[in-house]
Structure 1
Amino acid sequence: MTLKQVMISKKIEQRQSALADLLLREEGFKQRSADLEAALNEAKTDEEISTVESEINAFEADKTDVTEKKSALEGEIETLEKELEQLNSQAPANNERGGLDMNKQQKRAASNKTEYFTREVEDFYSELRTRLEARANGQVLPPGEAGAELVIPDIVVNRIRERIGDFTTLYPLVDLVRAGGRVKLILDVDAGEATWLEQRGALPETDDSELTAVQFDGFKVGRVVYIDNSLLEDSVINLDDYLTKRIARSIAKAIDNAILNGTGASGKQPEGIIPAIPKENNVTAEPTYQDLIPHIGKIDTGEDTTGEIVVTVHRQTYYAKLATLTLHTNSAGTDVVVLPNLSQPNFLGLRVVFNNFMPKDKLLFGVYDNYTLVEREGTRVDMSGHYKFREDQTAVRGVGRYDGKPVKPESFVLVTLQEAPPGA
């Protein structure tokens, strides 16, 4: 990237930052307008009306100033981006990809706020805030609106999904399938070996009964989030952060628990790995390397030997049982100690993932590619019928739909750690 490209990128970054600040000021105008309207309704004397009028004039001047600056910045950004795009297209072929990638990264980082808080997102939170304020003020919404759900814009749904990954350890490891609709799905979850044949030959038809077809439903998971009424007076950014964070965190915990311990259709939730593990893969061992390592060999992923073996363990179990393990001697008879890397936990090089839904004193070795999680579209937010008047809080309900199954349970081994008897 040339110095001129760097300079233009810097200008774009500076102007996008200034634009984000203007958008925040613009968001505050809604509350100022409501406050001025209330003050005007309360004004009785000429002096009070005159004071409010002065504040209204100042408010209108601020709005005009922000609008003009916003328009000017948007024009400058558009011009600079066109100039930068032209320079990128003229860059040498061997540097073109790197230059474009660097520019994209800079632009994404600089315009994160402005790209996310689109008009669609602002309209969604504006409608949500209107309903919450009406509920907080004790107003009874019309029957058609009181329970009407607000469909979250896709960009907010994606933000919740990204934040689910911030609070879960297993969700990023499994085979994730996103699907629309509400009907049950039947998926072929096995990647069978392809068939060799003559170059003009026809592929043989396979009997459907040979397919590893697995049926998936879409069980509902949700969380009621209580929003303090003071947040209704805050910016859209703070309201969004509060709402998406709590919905994502609670759904993440439910997903992690279901992946490990889910009871399946009987409990209206995904099927867990631990209940499905075959009897021969459910073993007991002492917490020593020589007793634990052979059990990893019980993992069977079929003909497909790809996939990372991950160790899942309760945090307390790792520090109490695994982190203290040592290898006593090498081939020369010298004492050897393996110091644990506490900042990046591992078990002899295998990645260790903490999950406190794991029972204590148990280890789960497994290839999580062989657990399929179906995530249905249609995550939504709607109004709850509950309102905590005493605490000045309004309830909002976030709902998602998932199902999952360990499609190859023999890909997992559960080891129960058992201390050796005294004198053994």
Structure 2
Amino acid sequence: MRKRFIESKQEMENILAKKSVQTFFQKIYDVRKGNGNNVEAPEDIYTIIMDTVESYSKLYPLIEYFFPIGNVPGKIIIGKDVTAAEFKPDNVALSAENFAINVEFEYGNGFKVAKVIFISNNMIDAQPDQYEAYIVKELARAIALALDDAILNGQGKDSYQLEGIIKNLPEQNIIGITLTELSDILEPINLVDSGEYNDNEIVAIVNRNTYYKKLLKHVISCSNPGALPKFIFCYAMQEDKILYADLSKYILIQRGGFSLESSKNVRFIGDETGYKGKMYFEGKPGRAEAFALVNLQ
């Protein structure tokens, strides 16, 4: 799990009180008054956003994440699934098996994820410190939900989405089982962990309803809980399925920072203003074989 930069409410308040942050929200306020356009958030706001995303997302804390310095456009190549290095004489070439697998990200500036929220104007005018924290928190929560869904179910560039894990599963890593005892849950893990790539934790991603309806009675009867995988509840996981995953093998790249726009047009009936936050991401499995889908029959 990545190191968090904000550990307490007080630290959050200290960041929101910084001059750069106050200037940022003043620009947003000016947009609402009819001046200016979308505003690129300073680093402090970006820190709050991504820390909040990590708090709410079930999958983001466990994946491989890159934020290229300078918002690198165009193709990015990342070597993934590095195996043990070889001992060789200087005049002997490395074997092809020693090369890391190249994972390519080619979609220019990434795919936009955005959310609009509305806030009463009297709150903005009377309690600006509260509305600032509220905007940041709610937009980050929305981005966290979107990332969880896209990491699992994204349909790829033709749908302007991330490449999801499930769409890219090898055929042999999709199986169905009749669940009668605990071993039925555990055996499919060998599809992910052959013993060659066993340096990272393998988790079981399930819908909460599936866990309580079909898995709980087997889990609580286990005499050796340490033998069980860690179960992660994710709303975006379909029911009656388990996804076994080494999530370190999924790569997410952020293209650019976080920007915020304020609507110049107030929602007249509710006396509200809309705020749209947006970010750009690209992502795909670094090794599709690091995941396996089990259909519970």
TM-score bracket relative to the smaller structure? 0.7 to 0.9
Structure 1 unaligned residues grouped into runs of 5+: 1-104, 135-140, 328-336, 341-345, 419-424
Secondary structure of the corresponding residue to residue 316 of structure 1: helix
Query: Which residue number corresponds to residue 28 of structure 2?
Result: 128
Query: Which residue number corresponds to residue 25 of structure 1?
Result: none
Deviation at 1:365, TM superposition (A): 0.9
Secondary structure of the corresponding residue to residue 387 of structure 1: coil
Distance 1:289 1:226, change over 3 A: same
Deviation at 1:375, TM superposition (A): 1.6
CA–CA distance in structure 1, aligned partners of residues 74 and 265 of structure 2 = 30
Deviation at 1:114, TM superposition (A): 3.0
Question: Is structure 2 residue 33 aligned with structure 1 residue 154?
Answer: no
Question: Is structure 2 residue 166 aligned with structure 1 residue 166?
Answer: no
- Give structure 1 regions of 4+ aligned residues with deviation exceeding 6 angstroms: none
Query: Which residue number corresponds to residue 272 of structure 1?
Result: 164
CA–CA distance in structure 2, aligned partners of residues 360 and 324 of structure 1 = 17
Distance 1:112 1:221, change over 3 A: closer
Query: Which residue number corresponds to residue 221 of structure 1?
Result: 113
Distance 1:384 1:173, change over 3 A: same
Tell whether the 8 Å contact from 2:83 to 2:100 is kept in structure 1 after alignment. no
Deviation at 1:182, TM superposition (A): 3.0
Query: Which residue number corresponds to residue 414 of structure 1?
Result: 293
CA–CA distance in structure 2, aligned partners of residues 384 and 215 of structure 1 = 37
Tell whether the 8 Å contact from 1:301 to 1:410 is kept in structure 2 after alignment. no
Tell whether the 8 Å contact from 2:258 to 2:278 is kept in structure 1 after alignment. yes
Distance 1:112 1:292, change over 3 A: closer
Question: Is structure 2 residue 203 aligned with structure 1 residue 310?
Answer: yes
One-letter amino acid of the structure 2 residue matched with residue 223 of structure 1:
K
Q: Among residues 156, 162, 178, which one is paired with 1:286 in the alignment?
A: 178
Tell whether the 8 Å contact from 1:366 to 1:411 is kept in structure 2 after alignment. yes
CA–CA distance in structure 1, aligned partners of residues 192 and 281 of structure 2 = 26
Correspondence 1:58-69 to 2 at 5 A: none
Q: Relative contact order: is structure 1 or structure 2 higher (C-alpha 8 Å, sep ≥ 6)?
A: 2
CA–CA distance in structure 2, aligned partners of residues 126 and 372 of structure 1 = 35
Query: Which residue number corresponds to residue 389 of structure 1?
Result: 268
Instruction: Give me the CA root mean square deviation.
Output: 2.8
One-letter amino acid of the structure 2 residue matched with residue 322 of structure 1:
L
CA–CA distance in structure 2, aligned partners of residues 162 and 203 of structure 1 = 47
Tell whether the 8 Å contact from 1:286 to 1:292 is kept in structure 2 after alignment. no
Correspondence 1:76-155 to 2 at 5 A: 113-132=13-32, 134=33, 141=34, 145=36, 148-155=37-44
C-alpha deviations, 1:34-69, integer Å up to 9, x for none? xxxxxxxxxxxxxxxxxxxxxxxxxxxxxxxxxxxx
- How does the TM-score come out when normalised to structure 1? 0.62
Q: Among residues 224, 243, 252, which one is paired with 2:135 in the alignment?
A: 243
One-letter amino acid of the structure 2 residue matched with residue 155 of structure 1:
D
One-letter amino acid of the structure 1 residue matched with residue 77 of structure 2:
I
Deviation at 1:339, TM superposition (A): 8.5
Deviation at 1:184, TM superposition (A): 2.8
C-alpha deviations, 1:271-301, integer Å up to 9, x for none? 1111111111111112231322221111147
CA–CA distance in structure 2, aligned partners of residues 373 and 310 of structure 1 = 18
Distance 1:170 1:393, change over 3 A: same
Kindly indicate which of the two structures has a greater share of residues assigned to strand: 2
Q: Among residues 232, 243, 248, which one is paired with 1:369 in the alignment?
A: 248
Deviation at 1:398, TM superposition (A): 0.4
CA–CA distance in structure 2, aligned partners of residues 115 and 399 of structure 1 = 20
Query: What is the percent sequence identity of the aligned residues?
Result: 28
CA–CA distance in structure 2, aligned partners of residues 109 and 395 of structure 1 = 26
Tell whether the 8 Å contact from 1:224 to 1:384 is kept in structure 2 after alignment. no
CA–CA distance in structure 1, aligned partners of residues 193 and 219 of structure 2 = 28
Secondary structure of the corresponding residue to residue 195 of structure 1: coil
Deviation at 1:115, TM superposition (A): 4.6
Tell whether the 8 Å contact from 1:174 to 1:371 is kept in structure 2 after alignment. yes
CA–CA distance in structure 1, aligned partners of residues 136 and 230 of structure 2 = 29
Distance 1:203 1:250, change over 3 A: farther
Structure ID, larger Rg: 1
Secondary structure of the corresponding residue to residue 250 of structure 1: helix
Matched pairs, number:
285
Structure 2 unaligned residues grouped into runs of 5+: 1-5
Query: Which residue number corresponds to residue 258 of structure 2?
Result: 379
